[in-house]
Amino acid sequence: MELGSLQLNGISWTVFRMGETTWLLQPNAEKGLLDVIHQAAFLLEFSEIQGLTDVIPAYESLTVIFSSSDINAKEVLSGLETKNIESELNSKTHEINVCYELGMDWKEMETKTGLTKEEIISIHSSQEYTIAMMGFLPGFIFLDGLDDRISVSRKENPRTKIPAGSVGIGGHQTGIYSLESPGGWQIIGRSPSSFFDITSEPPTQFRLGDKVKFVRITKTEFETRENRNG
């Protein structure tokens, strides 16, 4: 249910109530949506708002969850001071090793893009990506910045099991499976790195706004690094 708008961090947001304690905010901005959403998400995190239990950023929206249905998100969030927190974010650049030889969908990728495997690898590994959001499972990394030449649709018949560390392409985005799970992305490689560990604090070293560059490694290097991590 749409409930009008509010001002948050100098931007107008359309407000929807999604449940008793859940609100969806959509920024009214024509450009730089990810930056606007990330800035707002970190502002909410740093503001330590009483009763705010979760902030869930997505590509075009921001979901906020409160502990009580008595809390009016419009009133609480509209009262926040506008703040540029870019200097506080300390975004990092992560170099992630990936073995493209472990890709499982090269035939489909070549057919759909009209490019060779080597051309696709060259394009994919030459980009710098931005972590846009995380989910659908703990630690799954959605990356913005995929070259349109290697954008392909998801598989018509998803797999029941994809190994942790798999690097895939789904539509106009690339991403990393943090845990073994079902999935429908086109798998083009696998990393030996760990992306989510529930026993660590925090469980992941990746966060919104961080940059990612993929570094190609051989299958032998993958196996060596995987054994070392294990």
Residue range 176-203: mean pLDDT, rounded: 92
Closest to 192 measured CA to CA, from 161, 220, 225: 225
The pLDDT value recorded for residue 87 is: 46
pLDDT tens column, 118-161: 999 999 999 999 999 888 888 899 999 999 999 999 999 999 99
The CATH number assigned to the domain holding 123 equals 2.40.100.10
Write a three-state SS string for the chain. Answer: CEEEEEEECCEEEEEEECCCCEEEEEECCCCCHHHHHHHHHHHHHHHCCCCEEEEEECCCCEEEEECCCCCCHHHHHHCCCCCCCHHHHCCCEEEEEEEHHHCCCHHHHHHHHCCCHHHHHHHHHHCCEEEEEECCCCCCEEEECCCHHHCECCCCCCEEEECCCEEEEEECEEEECCCCEEECCEEEEECCCCCCCCCCCCCCCCCCCCEEEEEECCHHHHHHHHHHHC
Same domain flag for 118 and 223: yes
Looking at the structure of the chain, the number of domains it has is 2
Same domain flag for 50 and 118: no
| Omega within 30 of 0 (cis) for the link into 214 | no
Same domain flag for 177 and 104: yes
Same domain flag for 70 and 111: no
Same domain flag for 150 and 214: yes
The Cα-based distances of 86 to 27, 36, 63, 105 in angstroms read: 18, 11, 21, 39
pLDDT grade for 72, boundaries at 50, 70 and 90: confident
The CATH number assigned to the domain holding 46 equals 3.30.1360.40
Q: What is the pTM of this model?
A: 0.84
The pLDDT value recorded for residue 25 is: 93
pLDDT tens column, 18-62: 989 999 999 998 777 888 888 888 888 888 888 999 988 988 899
Sort 191 into a burial class: Cβ within 10 Å, 0-12 / 13-18 / 19+: buried
d(CA 24, CA 21) in angstroms, rounded, equals 10
Closest to 120 measured CA to CA, from 181, 72, 189: 189
Tokens read off for 63 = 């979901």
Same domain flag for 21 and 106: no
Question: What range does the domain containing 54 cover?
Answer: 2-89
The Cα-based distances of 150 to 102, 116, 141, 188 in angstroms read: 18, 11, 18, 11
pLDDT grade for 95, boundaries at 50, 70 and 90: very high
Same domain flag for 14 and 127: no
